[in-house]
Amino acid sequence: MAGAAAAGGEGWSSRWAFILAAVGSAVGLGNLVRFPAEAGANGGGAFVIFYIFCVLLIGLPVLLSETLLGRHGQRSAIESVKKVAAESGASQWWSLAAGVGMVAAFLVLTYYSVLAGWVIYFIGVFAGDLGGPSGLFGGALSDYSVEQVQGILPALQADSSTMLLMHAIFMSITIFAVARGVTSGIEKVAVWLMPSFFILFLGITIYGAFTGAFGAALEFLFAFDPSRLLDPNVQLSALGQALFSLSLGSALMITYGAYASRDVNLAKTSAQIASADTSVAIIAGLAIFPITFAALAPEALAAVLAGEEQVQGGLGLLFVSLPVAFQTMPAGGIIGLLFFIMVFFAALTSSVALLEASVSWAVDRFKIARWLATAILGGAAYLIGAWASFSFNSQAEFQPLDFLIFSGQPVFGIIDELTAKIMLPVSALLVAIFVGWVANRQLIDSENGISGGLHRVWLFLVRWLCPLVITAILLFGLFPGLLG
């Protein structure tokens, strides 16, 4: 079965390939790094509950909206929305929904590749432990003291040339895969790496459940604190994370939807994508927190669970606490190696998606060769990412936007906050309004693959709940002062 003839005549070779590519784009550093970091920083339970609420009631309906826009449009994201707008007699300006998203995807790629570069570096660190190129990384990990393991990330962050080299390696692999095209590049990466990812993921989760402090992690992630549930900061973080993790509001699902063939049921596929992605995020939390909690002293753990002490939030969780924990655990060296290889697989199937969102548009709009578009856009993302990486050393004090959610953030953090907490929600909001109110109903209903009660629920969510809730969360999250 040939796929759709989107931008350049390419498409997924089967429904299965579409699912793997879409799940591959969704499952990434967002699930394995950003989700545990945000859950840790926002107090666990309340964040997780609100996150699940956002996935079900906002993410899922918007996911179906985005894929159906792409499949109907059969072109790159912006052009697809323009086409649906034209057929509905609506303004071409609605393509801004995809435009904002596409720019966001490009911006996310810039720093995503820096982080994925760290992952490559840690593969090297753990490979050194197994007698790999230990010279490069300074000897076997098992000989390190705890302080030395804790020092690996800060040392890497202080060393711009190594960071830029790792960032370059990761971006080059991404560019290479995207330049090969949808079927022989992006789809191949997903079809090979996603099954490998799931096997590793299963193994590491079982390992974490048996060796780590599983009960404590469960308590941390699901303990319910109603007062935090109403915190606008927690809500904006959870909404941003839900969209980021499902690759929504980034033009991506419109782009990937365009490569899907007519016989794919988009509602069913969307549900499968969302459940796979959400399961990975939650299970990853249940794998990562037990391992790191196991390395904490009992009093420290009790303080964390009582909410008196923050867990190591942010990037330190994955790149500091986890390596320390691995080092003290049975077979920790090899598990650590497999863990970072797994994270690398997840990151690559997402970074190709982040780049494809703008590449498909450049190819479609300017009729330039795919390799050229990939090289230009990937190269530009590399340079911005390189600049952002100085946030960890020479430009840590450069915090140009000292207001709202940006205050105290260097460039790296600004790009993350701007994309996840503003651009993705704005793009998702425009998609919901466009599909719910503006686009021709018959056109939409011929694509969405649902009928009856389910259809009514979906329409209600897209028309009312998504626009109202996204607007409210955006306003109160950005301007907490509005609440008085």
Compare residues 28 and 332 and give the one whose CB is closer to ligand PHE.
28
- Among candidates 360, 336, 392, 319, which has minimal Cα distance to 111? 392
User: Is the distance from CB of 244 to CB of 34 less than 8 angstroms?
Assistant: yes
For residue 10, list its beta bridge partners.
6
- What minimum distance in Å lies between the beta carbon of 343 and ligand PHE? 10
Using CB positions, name the residue nearest to ligand PHE: 30
- What minimum distance in Å lies between the beta carbon of 35 and ligand PHE? 8
- Using CB under 6 A, which residues numbered 293 to 332 contact ligand PHE? none
Compare residues 13 and 31 and give the one whose CB is closer to ligand PHE.
31
- Using CB under 6 A, which residues numbered 203 to 262 contact ligand PHE? 244-245, 247, 250, 252
Compare residues 245 and 321 and give the one whose CB is closer to ligand PHE.
245
Taking residue 459's Cβ as centre, other Cβ atoms within 10 Å add up to 18
User: Is the distance from CB of 438 to CB of 430 less than 8 angstroms?
Assistant: no
Compare residues 54 and 252 and give the one whose CB is closer to ligand PHE.
252
CA distances from 470 to 60, 221, 428 (A): 14, 24, 8
- Among candidates 31, 61, 92, 115, which has minimal Cα distance to 435? 61
Taking residue 482's Cβ as centre, other Cβ atoms within 10 Å add up to 11
- Using CB under 6 A, which residues numbered 10 to 29 contact ligand PHE? 25-26, 28-29
- Among candidates 308, 290, 156, 322, which has minimal Cα distance to 210? 290
- Using CB under 6 A, which residues numbered 83 to 142 contact ligand PHE? 105, 108
Compare residues 177 and 354 and give the one whose CB is closer to ligand PHE.
354
- Using CB under 6 A, which residues numbered 349 to 368 contact ligand PHE? 350, 353-354
Residues 6+ apart with CB under 8 A from 206: none
- What minimum distance in Å lies between the beta carbon of 245 and ligand PHE? 4
User: Is the distance from CB of 77 to CB of 248 less than 8 angstroms?
Assistant: no
User: Please, what is the end-to-end C-alpha distance for the chain in angstroms?
Assistant: 58
- What minimum distance in Å lies between the beta carbon of 341 and ligand PHE? 17
Kindly state whether residue 30 participates in binding ligand PHE, applying the rule CB under 6 A: yes
How many residues of this chain interact with ligand PHE, rule: CB under 6 A?
16
Residues interacting with ligand PHE, by CB under 6 A? 25-26, 28-31, 105, 108, 244-245, 247, 250, 252, 350, 353-354
